[in-house]
């Protein structure tokens, strides 16, 4: 989910492993030359989701990656299949309240620009939670733990350490 810490934890994990960090939202922005909110405005959520699927497919076969995806990437069955195929999937779990606190001031979240962003987070989480769990190899509660502790938990859970060779796009 948005605000769960995918980018922060992903960057730290990649650094720890000496792997490359990739954020699918940033790749989309680089490819289009515009922001995610602009894509939503022009193409709608469906257009953005098509771009998201295309970017994810383009990462297949690349080793030594830590990939942070947008929270809605699991909505498409083809994306869930791709995620399961390319490496270990870690679901960073946080409560709706925590997610709201982390995102409430961020104007770069198109899905939260309505009148009640907290309610929207609760709705999105309720919809997506079964999908996250269906694709996750590991679930890590983010809470208020230090990032380094989360990185350690992830490495232990998926059997990685700094000396691990980059097999698959984990």
pLDDT in tens, 51-65: 999 999 999 989 999
Please check whether residue 50 lies inside any domain of the structure: yes
Please check whether residue 168 lies inside any domain of the structure: no
Please check whether residue 169 lies inside any domain of the structure: no
Please check whether residue 23 lies inside any domain of the structure: yes
The stretch 133-149 carries a mean pLDDT of 92
Per the structure, the complete domain to which residue 117 belongs is given by 6-158
At residue 164 the predicted structure's pLDDT band, cuts being 50, 70 and 90, is low
The stretch 94-122 carries a mean pLDDT of 86
pLDDT at res. 163: 53
Please check whether residue 164 lies inside any domain of the structure: no
Total domains, the chain? 1
117: domain CATH number is 3.40.50.300
Average pLDDT, the chain: 90
Token couple for 111: 């899905």
**Burial of 68 by CB count in 10 Å (0-12 exposed, 13-18 middle, 19+ buried)?**
buried
- Beta strand pairing status for 65-68 and 90-93? unpaired
Annotated binding residues for substrate = 25, 49, 71, 128
- What whole-number distance in Å separates Cα of residue 87 and Cα of residue 165? 13
Please check whether residue 45 lies inside any domain of the structure: yes
Annotated binding residues = 3-8, 25, 49, 71, 109, 128, 145
pLDDT digits (tens, 9 = 90+) for 25-54: 999 999 999 999 999 999 999 999 999 999
Please check whether residue 12 lies inside any domain of the structure: yes
Please check whether residue 83 lies inside any domain of the structure: yes
pLDDT at res. 166: 46
Annotated binding residues for Mg(2+) = 7
Annotated binding residues for ATP = 3-8, 109, 145
Token couple for 24: 């699918």
């Amino acid at each position: 989910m948005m605000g769960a810490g995918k980018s922060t934890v992903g960057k730290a994990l990649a650094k720890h492993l000496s792997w490359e960090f990739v954020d699918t939202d940033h790749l989309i922005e680089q490819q289009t030359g515009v922001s995610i909110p602009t894509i939503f405005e022009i193409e709608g959520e469906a257009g953005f989701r098509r771009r998201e699927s295309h970017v994810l497919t383009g990462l297949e076969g690349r080793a030594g990656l830590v990939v942070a995806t947008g929270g809605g990437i699991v909505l498409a069955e083809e994306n869930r299949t791709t995620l399961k195929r390319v490496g270990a999937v870690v679901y960073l779990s946080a409560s709706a309240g925590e997610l709201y606190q982390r995102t409430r001031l961020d104007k770069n979240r198109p899905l939260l620009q309505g009148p009640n962003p907290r309610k929207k987070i609760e709705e999105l989480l309720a919809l997506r939670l079964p999908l996250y769990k269906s694709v996750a190899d590991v679930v890590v509660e983010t809470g208020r733990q230090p990032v380094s502790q989360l990185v350690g938990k992830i490495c232990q859970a998926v059997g990685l350490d700094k000396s691990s060779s980059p097999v698959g796009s984990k």
